[in-house]
A and B are shown apart, each in its own frame.
Chain A
Amino acid sequence: MADGDRFPPGTAVRTFHHDPPHHTRLPRYARGKRGVVVEPEGRAELADVSAQGRGDAPVEQVYAVRFAARDLWGEGDHHVVLDLWESYLEADEEGAAR
């Protein structure tokens, strides 16, 4: 893992619950949800900014984050893994204690 990655594998995280007026790669169904980091994927320009044609997109770590279907949909026994930029995530202290 590269230096400066905020969320090591196994970290409980929560996604932001935002609804920006521009392109984002945080799908609606995964907003404000609890998940667990699988692994860092490498750094990439934040698509929310680069998709606006701006040259000043921050470069952030992207993480594979695993969600339980029950936490996303209220039902189901499968998991969904999404690739999420670091700024979509915050540490989930409550989730870590569960």
Chain B
Amino acid sequence: MSGDHSDATIAQRVRRLETLLEEKGVLSGARLDEIIDASLTGASPANGARVVARAWTDADFRARLLADGTAAVRELGFMEGSYQRLRVVENTDTTHNVIVCTLCSCYPLRLLGPSPSWYKSEAYRSRVVREPRAVLAEFGLELPAGTEITVWDSSAETRYMVLPRRPDGTDDLGEEQLAALVTRNALIGTAAV
């Protein structure tokens, strides 16, 4: 029911809906642009990277982030006014986390920006819950056989973000330099840092 993400079909449907909303005087195009801008303003993986760098350098913040992700990222000014809950899941020496939305394409947009097209693909959504180790290997992430993998399938109002492991040899780096190391895929769990 919610499996169709063919861009052409969706784009057509969206254009038609926009036209109808305007024709019927429900919403003007300008107002619609304002709403879209507001939801995307500042939405970037740089936000998630900042959160991670703070967690790597501030143990108290890290504890708060893992206990209540929404409240912790609000300390940094993210997810203000969002009705969604953020849950941050932490990678360790022995555990790895990866996020998906098998039903559609739920994604922590405000912290990670617009999602990559592969995240919305049938292939990723259907395979990562079934054979995550193989899928991660295709992303170039080979995990040791003993690493426990958890796949978080966002099926309600919680959005997930991965707290990657801080790489070795980064003790001398400051928060900004650390943030620059964190990629979008590391925040999804399809890469390490």
Seen from chain A, the residues whose Cβ lies within 8 Å of a Cβ on chain B are 23, 25-27, 29, 41-42, 44, 47, 62, 64, 66, 69, 72-73, 76-85
Contact = CB atoms under 8 A, between A and B. Distances in A.
B142 interface: no
Contacts of B132: 78
A41 B158 contact: yes
Given A23-B2, A64-B87, 17 more contacts: A23-B1, A25-B103, A25-B156, A26-B155, A27-B103, A27-B153, A29-B129, A41-B157, A41-B158, A62-B156, A72-B130, A78-B132, A80-B152, A81-B151, A83-B154, A83-B155, A83-B156
Given A23-B1, A42-B85, A79 B158 contact: no
Contacts of A80: 129, 150-153
A78 B1 CA distance: 27
Contacts, number: 66
Interface string B138-179: 000000000011111111111000000000000000000000
Contacts of A83: 153-158
Closest 4 pairs between A and B when the two form their complex, measured CB to CB = A83-B156, A78-B149, A25-B155, A83-B155
B151 A84 contact: no
A27 B102 contact: yes
A26 B152 CA distance: 14
A29 B158 contact: no
16 contacts: A25-B103, A25-B155, A27-B102, A29-B129, A41-B85, A41-B87, A41-B156, A44-B156, A44-B157, A62-B156, A72-B130, A78-B150, A79-B148, A82-B153, A83-B155, A84-B156
A29 B102 contact: yes
Contacts of B85: 41-42
Contact of A76 (B87, B130, B153, B155): B130
Given A29-B129, A41-B158, A81 B103 contact: no
A7 B54 CA distance: 34
A29 B102 CA distance: 10
A46 B90 CA distance: 29
Contacts of B129: 29, 72, 80
Nearest to A66: B150
B133 interface: yes
Interface in B32-79: none
